[in-house]
């Protein structure tokens, strides 16, 4: 048993290096979306100023942030990604010849490689009698043959949430083998807590892990009707080992909310960012729509029914958790007002659940490896297109769009010429379809180039403001030449709401009336 575990550990390590090499082969080292800008801005503020605001992105207004304590702009994203990427950002400032953006963007490839190792170990733990090649193929199916690969080029939270999901899942399987293991219980709580700190909505998976752990540790040697004695016989030390990391994670979330907005229960999301979408459209859109359907981006999912039955017979606890977590994510984000995930590749919000689906494909890899391998190669081809395309833009997030843009447009125009549903469902941009209004862009001209140039600098900028008190556009964290505090307010790419207008009118004069930035001059690093 010990020799088998050692061998599996070595293979998992080699597989992690293989996945890391594959992801770095198409790595770009650039920020590609406003979400990535916002999450990286927190890191940069922490390193440069010891603060956690995103006043560098003041020109975005409240597109990715919300005004909070002190009238400053704060990110609405979770703290987990910034915490994980903080050492890499510091490394980019310390080492000569490197930029902090480039070193920070190494986070997603490293997290994906670690997730691949944990997925392999989870497959070997649940299916010890299957060939090691089956677990290896299932891991490659997730790491390179699914949407996980393109997200290694971003600074999104999805890679870290996926790592937290598969890490908690692997520890749950360890608890199944050793019900009295406090180490396994602590791992479950720590991984689930990390996911919650990264994305608060990830708390929806906690009941599935808690109920399964209760089923595993429930004493069965006592009379069935003696419920009180059974509750007393539970290994409460194991449960406490899992509970206190969750409490720490909850404290971090509430404390971060309080530090930003003065209220532990205020996350900063705007009044229209709610769970208000049409549920049927959201669920079907995430699964089968031509623009965001998971089946288009992960082709081997069509074979998954062949492996669920075998996985249930061998590991019913893990199978139940995998299916439950996936269903919970689909139902939750199917109701979110932007269930498509915005400018991203595929169903962005379902990315953390894909490693659990890959674990369910392990029996298929054992029985029909050639068939699964063929679909994995198809998935690698589809997502390799994304890895090349994301180097320039993530606006057209569909393999159909990437492979044949004209045919996709014609199909949608011919099928439903004035259907607003297809504007969200389809693989074309909303503004290219009849019946869809073109909305103004939020990004000022050349703003991405300006901020990329600032963040590529390997050394901290000398100051926010020039000696004469006017914002400097030549170096450091300066106001871009268009938008922000330049006198030309940006046009929000969102529906104008009373709260949006109130916040914008109340906070903009403070920063722009004098022509100076509202952030204090940074200290030298």
Beta strands in 418-513 (DSSP E): none
Lowest mean pLDDT among 54-63, 184-193, 373-382: 54-63
**Domain boundaries, given as residue ranges, for the chain:** 1-387
320/265 Cα distance (integer angstroms): 32
Task: State which H helix or E strand residue 74 sits in.
Answer: strand 73-75
Q: Is 174 left (phi over 0), alpha (psi -120 to 50) or beta?
A: alpha
- Work out the burial of residue 374: count CB atoms within 10 Å of its CB; fewer than 13 is exposed, 13-18 middle, 19 or more buried: middle
117 contacts 170 by C-beta, under 8 angstroms: no
Question: In 127-235, which residue ranges form alpha helices assigned H by DSSP?
Answer: 132-143, 158-177, 182-198, 206-217, 227-233
Query: What token pair was written down for 195?
Result: 């996911």
244/246 Cα distance (integer angstroms): 5
Lowest mean pLDDT among 317-321, 367-371, 443-447: 443-447
118 contacts 32 by C-beta, under 8 angstroms: no
- 252: confidence class by pLDDT, cuts 50, 70, 90: very high
Across the chain, how many H-helices and E-strands are there?
23, 2
pLDDT over threshold 60, residue 50: yes
Tell me, what's the pLDDT at 389? 59
Lowest mean pLDDT among 40-49, 212-221, 465-474: 465-474
Tell me, what's the pLDDT at 291? 82
Tell me, what's the pLDDT at 487? 33
Query: What token pair was written down for 397?
Result: 């997030």
Polymer length of the chain: 525
- 34: confidence class by pLDDT, cuts 50, 70, 90: confident
**Residue 208 DSSP SS3:** helix
pLDDT over threshold 70, residue 457: no
487/242 Cα distance (integer angstroms): 53
Burial annotation 159-187 (CB, 10 A radius, 16+ → b, else e): bbbbbbbbbbbbbbbbbbeeeebbebbbb
39/101 Cα distance (integer angstroms): 11
CA-based angle 387:390:394, to the nearest 5?
Answer: 135
Share of the chain above pLDDT 70, in %: 72
Average pLDDT of 266-280?
A: 89
Tell me, what's the pLDDT at 210? 95
Average pLDDT of 348-361?
A: 95
pTM over the 0.85 mark: no
């Amino acid at each position: 048993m010990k020799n088998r575990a050692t061998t599996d550990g070595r293979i998992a390590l080699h597989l992690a290096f293989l996945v890391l090499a594959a992801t770095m082969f198409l790595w770009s080292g650039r920020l590609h979306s406003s979400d990535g800008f916002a999450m990286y801005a927190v890191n940069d503020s922490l390193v440069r100023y010891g603060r956690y605001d995103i006043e560098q992105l003041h020109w975005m207004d409240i597109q990715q942030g919300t005004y909070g304590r002190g009238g400053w702009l704060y990110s609405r994203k979770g703290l987990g990604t910034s915490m994980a990427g903080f050492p890499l950002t510091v490394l980019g400032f310390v080492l000569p010849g490197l930029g902090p953006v480039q070193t920070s963007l190494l986070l997603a490839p490293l997290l994906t490689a670690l997730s691949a190792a944990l997925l392999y170990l989870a497959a070997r733990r649940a299916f010890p009698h299957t060939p090691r090649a089956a677990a290896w193929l299932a891991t490659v199916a997730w790491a390179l043959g699914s949407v996980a690969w393109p997200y290694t080029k971003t600074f999104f939270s999805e890679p870290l949430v996926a790592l937290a999901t598969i890490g908690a899942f692997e520890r749950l399987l360890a608890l199944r083998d050793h019900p009295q293991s406090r180490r396994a219980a602590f791992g479950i709580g720590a991984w689930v807590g990390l996911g919650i700190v990264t994305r608060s909505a990830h708390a929806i998976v906690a009941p599935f892990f808690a109920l399964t752990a209760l089923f595993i540790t429930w004493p069965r040697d006592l009379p069935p009707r003696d419920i009180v004695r059974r509750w007393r016989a539970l290994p409460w030390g194991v449960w406490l080992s899992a509970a206190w990391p969750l409490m720490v994670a909850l404290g971090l979330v509430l404390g971060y909310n309080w530090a930003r907005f003065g209220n532990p229960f205020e996350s900063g999301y705007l009044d229209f960012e709610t769970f208000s979408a049409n549920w049927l459209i959201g669920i079907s859109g995430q699964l089968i729509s031509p623009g965001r359907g998971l089946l288009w981006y992960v082709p081997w999912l069509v074979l998954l029914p062949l492996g669920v039955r075998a996985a249930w017979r061998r590991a019913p606890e893990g199978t139940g958790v995998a299916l439950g977590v996936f269903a919970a994510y689909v139902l939750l984000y199917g109701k979110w007002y932007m269930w498509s995930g915005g400018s991203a590749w595929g169903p962005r919000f379902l990315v953390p659940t894909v490693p659990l689906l890959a674990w369910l494909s392990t029996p298929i890899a054992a029985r029909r490896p050639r068939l699964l391998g063929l679909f994995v190669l198809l998935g690698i081809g589809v997502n390799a297109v994304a890895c090349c395309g994301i180097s320039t833009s993530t606006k057209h997030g569909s393999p159909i769009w990437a492979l044949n843009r004209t045919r996709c447009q014609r199909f949608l125009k011919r099928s439903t010429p004035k259907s607003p549903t297809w504007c969200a469902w389809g693989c074309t941009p909303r503004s290219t379809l009849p019946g869809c209004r073109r909305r103004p862009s939020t990004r000022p001209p050349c703003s991405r180039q300006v901020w990329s140039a600032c963040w590529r600098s390997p050394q901290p900028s000398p100051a926010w403001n020039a000696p004469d008190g006017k914002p400097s556009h030549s170096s450091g964290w300066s106001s871009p030449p268009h938008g922000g505090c330049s006198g030309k307010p940006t046009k929000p790419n969102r529906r104008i709401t009373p709260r949006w207008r109130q916040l914008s009118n109340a906070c903009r004069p403070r920063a722009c009336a004098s022509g100076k930035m509202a952030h204090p001059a940074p200290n030298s690093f």
